[in-house]
């Protein structure tokens, strides 16, 4: 029995008939030598008795915030102790509470305090699952880094048939095993990530920018943290939430010049560098020190003679500079350099050209002409081009940026 099997799996069980499947899962996990802890909601305890889980796991079952007077902050210790937290079955109500940060019982309080890898297996009536509110709540959880498992389709306890069945215990067990075994594969590694847009000012109030939300870059950050890495994030203006983690340092920048300086200064220490930021290729040649005024026209008229020509100059190409540092051996000998390619046409040719021109080991290409992936969306689909075999790219099909980020890391920095 290896070290990996000594991990603590926290099972959060909420009130659905599928709670019975968790007995089988708990048994399988215990047999595989995991330390299994269980939290049940009051409703879950109406479907399966806590004594069943106590017998199966050999651990006390946590039901209430004030269960144990000797350990009044049980939710913090459970959250800190867990190597992986699975909430299954996750009812529509629990999913809504998780999405909105409500913490009114032991399960949701522990989930809010928990900073590690969270798996959520929804189980509910089909109409409840398909309702737009539930879908939005699930999208919120995914965007924050939770991994959804299922639901499966089939006959439901309420008599309906459709999506909403919790996946089987065997499936959950397999996913837990995979997650745990790869969970620490970046431990001891330093990962440097750029994310978000840049803003290039014309005057004190106007700037050139693009639509990057930072979701792809923060998803990569989360995935690297979950894999045990220390992460330095260099973040331009972005709306995406930045994870809170003691292994993450986040440096905020605004312009391409600032992003370039920050990336170069951190690059020397990094084992893996990922440039996912959408950096402005150009900036205004001059920045006015005061707000640029238009020429006056007659009341209510537009002055057609008042035209402005904006002169732009190139910004530094940060990825290409890092590529040069790699060739000149200024970076660590084994540093892996990864760039993105945001393309609207000729994706393959452009990505292969960027691989070569920017000196990257990998280029992750996405089609930003599509509304359902790329900029701002919660999902993405990418093709990975590698320096080792530029012609043989790998497609990672459309999925949440959270899941995709994990897959990208596994491709560009595999477990050795």
Residues that bind ligand PMT (CB under 6 A): 212-217, 256, 275-279, 281, 315, 317-319, 339-342, 354, 358, 366, 368, 374-376
C-beta of residue 366 within 8 angstroms of C-beta of residue 276 = no
Shortest reach from residue 6's CB to ligand PMT, in Å: 37
Maximum separation of any 2 CA atoms in the chain, in Å: 85
236-253 burial code (b ≥16 CB/10 A, e <16)? bbbebebbebebbebbeb
Tokens of 140: 């919120």
Closest to ligand PMT by CB, 4 vs 264, is: 264
Distance separating alpha carbons of residues 378 and 339, to the nearest angstrom: 20
End-to-end CA distance of the chain: 20
For residue 338, the 8-state DSSP code is E
The closest alpha carbon to 76, from 113, 46, 116, belongs to 113
Closest to ligand PMT by CB, 37 vs 401, is: 401
> Does 158 participate in catalysis according to the annotation?
yes
Closest to ligand PMT by CB, 180 vs 355, is: 355
196-229 burial code (b ≥16 CB/10 A, e <16)? bbbbbbbeeeebbbbebbbbbbbbbbbbbbbbeb
C-beta of residue 266 within 8 angstroms of C-beta of residue 275 = no
Closest to ligand PMT by CB, 44 vs 202, is: 202
Shortest reach from residue 66's CB to ligand PMT, in Å: 42
354-382 burial code (b ≥16 CB/10 A, e <16)? bbeebbbbbbbbbbbeeeebbbebbbbbb
Shortest reach from residue 13's CB to ligand PMT, in Å: 34
Shortest reach from residue 327's CB to ligand PMT, in Å: 16
Shortest reach from residue 140's CB to ligand PMT, in Å: 15
- Is residue 407 exposed (0-12), middle (13-18) or buried (19+ Cβ within 10 Å)? middle
Closest to ligand PMT by CB, 89 vs 243, is: 243
Closest to ligand PMT by CB, 277 vs 384, is: 277
Distance separating alpha carbons of residues 287 and 386, to the nearest angstrom: 39
Closest to ligand PMT by CB, 222 vs 358, is: 358
Question: Helix, strand, coil: what percent of the chain each, to 5?
Answer: 35, 25, 40
Shortest reach from residue 260's CB to ligand PMT, in Å: 7
Active-site residue identified among 158, 250, 260, 275 = 158
Shortest reach from residue 272's CB to ligand PMT, in Å: 14
* Residues carrying an active site annotation: 158
């Amino acid at each position: 029995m290896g070290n990996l099997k000594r991990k603590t799996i926290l099972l959060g069980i909420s009130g659905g008939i599928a709670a019975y499947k968790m007995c089988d899962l708990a048994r399988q996990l215990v047999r595989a030598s995991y330390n299994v802890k269980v939290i049940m909601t009051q409703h879950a305890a109406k479907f399966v008795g806590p004594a069943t889980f106590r017998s199966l796991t050999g651990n006390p079952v946590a039901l209430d915030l004030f269960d144990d007077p000797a350990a009044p902050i049980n939710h913090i210790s459970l959250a800190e102790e867990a190597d992986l937290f699975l909430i299954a079955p996750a009812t529509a109500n629990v999913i809504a509470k998780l999405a909105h940060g409500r913490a009114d019982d032991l399960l949701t309080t522990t989930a809010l305090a928990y900073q590690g890898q969270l798996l959520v297996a929804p189980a509910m009536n089909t109409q409840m699952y398909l309702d737009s509110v539930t879908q939005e709540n699930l999208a919120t959880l995914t965007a924050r880094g939770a991994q959804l498992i299922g639901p499966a389709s089939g006959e439901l306890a309420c008599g309906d048939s459709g999506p909403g069945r919790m996946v089987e215990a065997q499936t959950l067990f397999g996913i837990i095993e995979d997650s745990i075994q790869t969970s620490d594969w970046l431990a001891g590694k330093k990962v440097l990530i750029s994310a978000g847009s840049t803003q290039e000012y014309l005057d004190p109030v106007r700037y050139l920018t693009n639509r990057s939300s930072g979701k792809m870059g923060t998803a990569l950050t989360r995935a690297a943290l979950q894999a045990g890495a220390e992460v330095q994030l260099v973040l331009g203006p972005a709306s995406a939430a930045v994870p809170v983690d003691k292994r993450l340092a986040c440096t905020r920048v605004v312009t391409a010049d600032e992003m370039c300086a920050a990336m170069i200064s951190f690059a020397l220490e990094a084992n893996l560098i990922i440039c996912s930021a959408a950096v402005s290729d150009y900036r205004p040649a001059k920045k006015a020190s005061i707000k640029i005024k238009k020429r006056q026209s007659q009341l209510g008229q537009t002055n057609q003679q008042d035209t402005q020509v904006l002169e732009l100059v190139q910004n530094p190409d940060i990825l290409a500079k890092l590529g040069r540092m790699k060739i000149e051996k200024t970076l660590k000998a084994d540093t892996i350099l990864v760039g993105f390619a945001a393309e609207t046409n000729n994706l393959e040719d452009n990505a292969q050209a960027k691989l070569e021109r920017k000196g990257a080991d990998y280029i992750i290409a996405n089609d930003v002409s599509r509304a359902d992936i790329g900029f701002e969306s919660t999902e993405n689909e990418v093709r990975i081009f590698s320096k080792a075999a530029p012609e043989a790219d790998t497609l990672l099909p459309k999925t949440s940026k959270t899941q995709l980020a994990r897959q990208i890391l596994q491709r560009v920095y595999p477990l050795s």
